[in-house]
Structure formats: C-alpha cells, structure tokens
Amino acid sequence: MRLKAARLHRQLYRHRKRYKLDKHAYLLLIHENSLVLNRLIRLIDDNWNDIYIHIDKNAKNIDPSEIKQFAQKSKVYFVKRHKVYWGTNSIMEAEIELFKAAAKQQYQYYHLLSGADLPIKTQKEIHDFFEENNGKEFIHFGTEQYQKDIQERYNQYHFFTKRLGRKRDKKFWVQLETYSLAIQRRLHVNREKKNDFSFYGGSNWCSVTYEYAKYLINEYKRIRRSYYFTQISDESILQTVLMKSLYKNSVYQSSFSNSCISNVREIDWNRGNPYVFRAEDFEMLMNSPCMFARKFDEKTDRKIIEQIYETINNEQIKDRG
C-alpha cells in the first residue's frame, strides 16, 4: 500500500505542470448565511471559477438553494455535510470532503476559505497572480517555536477536546484534560514514535495545485489514524503532508516565519484571535500584497464589508468590459 502511494506521489509530482488549466475551485467552509458569505460568493462568482460548499451539519436554517442564487456565473456544488466542532477532527474531515469533491475535476488552483473571508483583489488579479506562480503551493507555516509546540501537543492524546469547546469554560473537563496530560507526561507517552513523519502546523486556509490536492487526499487515508484524539488537526494536516513529500520544494514561502504572504491571506493575530477587520483597516487591506483577508463580521463592522465589496466589484465590472 505504501509503495503504491509512493509511486503515485512521484508520478503526480513529475507531471505537476502537465495540466494547463485556467479554472479555479473555491472551497468554502460555512456555518451560517451571512452578509459576508453573500459578498464573498458574489465576488468570486466568475466563469473561470467553480464553488464547492460545506455547510456545518450543526447549522440551522441554512437553505442551500438560497446560497446558490448568490452565484450567476460559477457552478456551485454542495458536499456531504459533517457536524463540525472546534478543535476536533471534524473540521479536517470537512476540509478533506471539499478537496475530494473538487479534485474530481482538474483545476489550476484550489482555494480553501471560510464564510468569514473576502477577496481583496479582483478575479483577474487573482488568476494572473496564480498563473505567474503556477506550480507553487500556498501553505502557511507558524514560527519555529510553534512547530515545537505542535509536535509536543500531538505527542499526547487529547480525549476531551469536543467536551472542552473553544472557550474551555467547563471546569470539570478542563481538570480532566489537565490530569490526563500530566499522566501521559509521567508515562513518557510519545505518539510520534509510531509514525514515519513529524507533525507540522500553521493556518488551515490555503491555495494548492491539483497535484497536491490529489496527493493530500491519498495521504489522508494513510495517516488519518495518527490524528485520532489530537487537538486542532485542521491546522496541521496540510503542513504535515507537505513536509513529508516532494511538494515541500514547491512551497511559495518555505521559512517558518508566520508570514501572511505564505498563503496570501491577510489575517491579524496580533489584535485578536483573529482580529475582525473594521472600516479603519480598509486602506491597509487594499494595499496588502495578499489575495484574501479574514476575518469579517457584519455584527462588528458592516461598513468594511460593503467597502471591499463595492471596490472589488466595480473593478471587476471594468475588467469584464
């Protein structure tokens, strides 16, 4: 099985520039029907794009047919739904579901976005940029210290992630998790010894080639067990698979610098977790070298969403003549 996977890996990598395709696939993870989602789909709606959407199975009152109407030019596909819980493997599984559906067709690039993201460049600029950098993988890596933290975190079993939730405000489960990790440290539990690879981490939002998307899907089948009872696996799977492959030679920015340039997404972790952009950030976003930005929320600031939408949409109307 491993030899077969290795042969496929070499074959895909060797022919990674064989496909001269102009179309892009946008892969959206969403949990609500928001103004941001509306504006996002309208801005990526283009004859040269197809859109794949995963709707959190926990989400209520979301009508796929209504969302589909946001797009007039792109084909819109809805993938099998998973119940998504913060920090658990369910996010990773939803992402892989999107890649599996989209990789049935060959696109030049596959862009993974959330429903809280917006493009900050026109589709012409985005397509031109990725054509200029065709063959590069746009995957973000955290700092060297973050890589050490990731490897330490994944060396132990996290049995209560779903119970803990993102806020970690349930005292009983926090204490149980703390006790469990302490016992594992005392027993010198090291999950990585069972693997023929090391864990790496960074942002889960990415833009990747058809070849890497196919390789990711195949490798996921082989290493998914290594992610059982881990925490925030969606922020590791892309980086881990990349670093154990020849595709690490094709990464756009290879240093562990935590730079937004590596996945061309403007995300501010200094002012928030992440920071929700506001109207005063408009000039900065428009001057950013990145293609996309997150995070946006109309409950925090509606104006910035409409500013970006109107600016990019007007430019795209000009581009289309």
- Residue spans of the domains in the chain: they are 2-145+196-259, 156-189
Digit-by-digit pLDDT tens for the chain (321 residues) are: 545 555 655 555 454 444 446 899 999 999 999 999 999 999 999 999 999 999 999 998 899 999 999 999 999 999 999 999 877 888 999 999 999 999 999 999 999 999 999 999 999 999 999 999 999 999 999 999 999 888 888 887 787 777 766 666 677 888 888 888 889 888 888 887 788 788 999 999 999 999 999 999 999 988 888 888 787 888 899 999 999 999 999 999 888 888 889 999 999 999 998 999 999 999 999 999 999 999 999 999 999 999 999 999 999 998 887
- Lookup: tokens for 256: 């562990």
Strand pairing class (109-114; 265-266): unpaired
What's the rounded Cα separation, in Å, for the pair 279 and 213? 35
Pick among 3.90.1720.10, 3.20.20.140, 3.40.120.10, 3.90.550.10: CATH of 2-145+196-259: 3.90.550.10
What's the rounded Cα separation, in Å, for the pair 39 and 34? 9
Nearest Cα to Cα of residue 219 among 251, 245, 192, 246? 245
Q: How many CB atoms sit inside 10 A of residue 300's CB? A: 14
User: What pLDDT shows up at residue 229?
Assistant: 78
Tokens 């390789």, located at residue: 215
What's the rounded Cα separation, in Å, for the pair 98 and 53? 7
User: What pLDDT shows up at residue 171?
Assistant: 79
What's the rounded Cα separation, in Å, for the pair 262 and 271? 20
User: What pLDDT shows up at residue 98?
Assistant: 98
Peptide bond into 289 cis (omega under 30): no
- Lookup: tokens for 3: 């030899």
The model's pTM is 0.89
User: What pLDDT shows up at residue 18?
Assistant: 41
What's the rounded Cα separation, in Å, for the pair 13 and 250? 10
State whether residue 28 is helix, strand or coil: strand
Residue 125 — φ and ψ, nearest 5°?
-65, -40
